[in-house]
Structure 1
């Protein structure tokens, strides 16, 4: 029966003795034949197996983090996170239209606009909440939303595809704050000048075809920067 010359422990076999010297005294005793023996904490796990297990757990944690960040972040906000300003090449094409008034008027008052869709002027005390609408909304309420910092996109229903609607919805879902909301509504004009009209307070940009980069640049430049309470 072998015994340890360092601690006087005795063992039933040479393998047990060599295993003890390796684990208790850190000695390099070469390979030990046979499967690892049970110890007081349960089955021993070879180092390579432990490394593989840790690697799998690490990769899974990374995958979960990426999934949560990219696909589950605050209603899609991470997918449409905006820079401080829009692309200069696109923003340079925006028309500026001086608002003739910022007056709030009763809901039954006439509000006529020289350009439609309007980008400013007298408007109702009510606003339109963020969202993609299937029915036209009141110009008077939409203009008040512009004053609050909203971006309002008017679309031609006959040209809006499912993918384009989904892109608009991603913005509307991400930006619902009353002072920086994203709104998309059908253009009520029978024969609109463009398939898409992007508006902010005193700002207008038209698109004959839907361009996600243009929507992003316009929104980055003007969202949350209305005259009543700019928040960006």
Structure 2
């Protein structure tokens, strides 16, 4: 029970750090706009000196665009129409495209989830961790769940994957071999609630529960 509480706290801490980081980025962008105008040069000099001190003492996390992930594939110009029929996705698992009008509720699933609804969750900024159930054992599946935030993630089995785990977000995907891979954290930091998604922050609850929802 203590380990479960520790894992839950670690996930909450990661979520808090991510949210604080993106809030800091937004605040910095607003501050930059305010500096434009009279006295901007002096203000920039002052802020620059303060930032230099802060960076030396407490280096900030890298910006999304500066995070490099080995093996990452990205996709542009993805359609995002709502359809009422099955979609023949070119990518498996899909990373975007036409999708069902109802999103999949984010969470942990023990059975394969409907792709059309899951793509709608990606549209809302979720990260989908699909795993090959023939490759990962129960402990590894648990470790994968613990490596991800509690919100805006989908964890589900996916038969026939070429890799043990495939992480997908809207327009981005990377395959990894184990839940201990550093690229999982990097991918989440880069794409969880990413502005690259068409509707980041839109609901990831109140939609469709897929089969085998466990959490």
TM-score normalised by length of structure 2 = 0.61
Partner of 2:134: helix, strand, or coil?
helix
Whether 1:119 aligns to 2:90 is no
* Structure 2 counterparts to residues 23-34 of structure 1, below 5 A: none
1:167 to 134, 140, 143: 143
2:191 to 206, 219, 222: 222
- For these two proteins, the number of residue pairs brought into alignment is 154
TM-score normalised by length of structure 1 = 0.57
Whether 1:154 aligns to 2:126 is no
- What runs of 5+ residues in structure 2 fail to find an aligned partner? 22-62, 203-215
Quote how far apart the aligned CAs of 1:92 are: 5.0
* Structure 2 counterparts to residues 104-143 of structure 1, below 5 A: 104-106=82-84, 109-143=85-119
RMSD: 2.9
Quote how far apart the aligned CAs of 1:97 are: 1.5
Do the aligned partners of 1:99 and 1:119 also contact (CA within 8 Å) in 2?
Answer: no
* Structure 2 counterparts to residues 86-101 of structure 1, below 5 A: 90-91=68-69, 93-101=71-79
Following TM superposition, where does structure 1 have runs of at least 4 consecutive aligned residues deviating by more than 4 angstroms? 72-75, 79-90
- What runs of 5+ residues in structure 1 fail to find an aligned partner? 1-66
Quote how far apart the aligned CAs of 1:165 are: 2.1
If asked which structure has higher relative contact order (CA below 8 Å, sep 6+), I would say: 2
CA 1:119–1:73 in structure 2 vs 1: closer, same or farther (change >3 Å)?
Answer: closer
Whether 1:195 aligns to 2:164 is yes
Larger mean Cα displacement after TM superposition, 117-126 or 76-85: 76-85
Partner of 1:158: helix, strand, or coil?
coil
Equivalent residue, structure 2, for 1:145: 121
Equivalent residue, structure 2, for 1:184: 155
Do the aligned partners of 1:132 and 1:185 also contact (CA within 8 Å) in 2?
Answer: yes
CA 1:99–1:155 in structure 2 vs 1: closer, same or farther (change >3 Å)?
Answer: farther
Cα deviation 1:43-68 (Å, max 9, x = unaligned): xxxxxxxxxxxxxxxxxxxxxxxx9x
Do the aligned partners of 1:171 and 1:182 also contact (CA within 8 Å) in 2?
Answer: no
CA 1:207–1:186 in structure 2 vs 1: closer, same or farther (change >3 Å)?
Answer: same
Alpha-carbon distance in 1 for matches of 2:174, 2:167? 5
